[in-house]
Amino acid sequence: MVAKANLLGMRFGEMLVIGEAPSDKHGKSHWLCRCSCGVEKVVAGSALLQGLTASCGARAHRADSARHGHARAGRMTPEYKSWSAMIQRSTNPNNPDFHRYGGRGIGVCDRWRSFGSFLADMGLKPTRRHTIERQDNSRGYEPGNCRWATRREQVLNRAYTKMTDRIAANIRASKRSIASLAEEYGVSRSTISAIRSGRNWKDLN
C-alpha cells in the first residue's frame, strides 16, 4: 500500500494547504486549502500534485459572473445565488451543509465551476421558488442530473424514487417468471430482465 503524501503546510500556486479533509468515497485524499485571496476550499491531493488546481478560482468566477451581469455591485440574481450556494456546500468545509454534500462526496463538475457554463446548461429559473434538484442523489451537480424544481416537485420526486426503488426490490426478490412479472407490471420482459440485472426502474421508464 502506497503511503499518502503529507501536503500539510505546502503551497501550490496560490493555494496553501492548512489541514486534512475527509477522503472521498473512493479513498482519495483531500486537503483544506486557503487561497491567497482568503477563500478556503477542499481540494483533491492529486489535483494539487498534478498542478490542476492552483487557485480557488474566485477571481475568475467573479469576472465570469460580471460578464453575464448576474453579480454586479453586490446585486446577485437568483440564478447566481443558487450557483454560489451549490459551490459553497460542495467545497467549503465551513459551510453548515458541507457534511451533507462535499463531506460525503457530492461535488460540482469542472464545467459548472464556471457560472457562465452553469447558466448555459440550466437556463434561468422559471420562478424564484425553483431551486436546483439532483435527480439522482448518488451523483453530484452536473449536466443531465440537475434541473430547476419547486420544493413540492422535489418532494414528489423523492416519493416516486422510493416507490420505484421498492418495486425494483420486489422484482429482484421474486421467484416468479419474467413473463408473469412483465404481465403484472405492464412492461416488457426485457425491462424485467434489466431490473433483475441491477438497473433501476426509474431509469427504464
pLDDT beyond 60 at 1: no
Q: Can you give the residue ranges of every domain in the chain?
A: 1-56, 57-149, 154-203
> Picking from 18-22, 145-149, 151-155, which range would have the lowest pLDDT averaged per residue?
151-155
Half-sphere exposure of 74 (CA within 13 A, CB side): 0
Supply 100's cell numbers: 451533507
pLDDT tens digit sequence for 48-97: 887 777 777 766 666 665 666 676 655 778 998 899 889 888 888 878 88
pLDDT at 62: 62
What global pTM score does this model have? 0.54
Q: Is pLDDT at 33 greater than 50 in this prediction?
A: yes
Q: Which residues contact 149 (CB under 8 A, 6 or more apart)?
A: 130, 131, 132, 133, 157
- pLDDT tens-digit profile of 113-122? 888 888 889 9
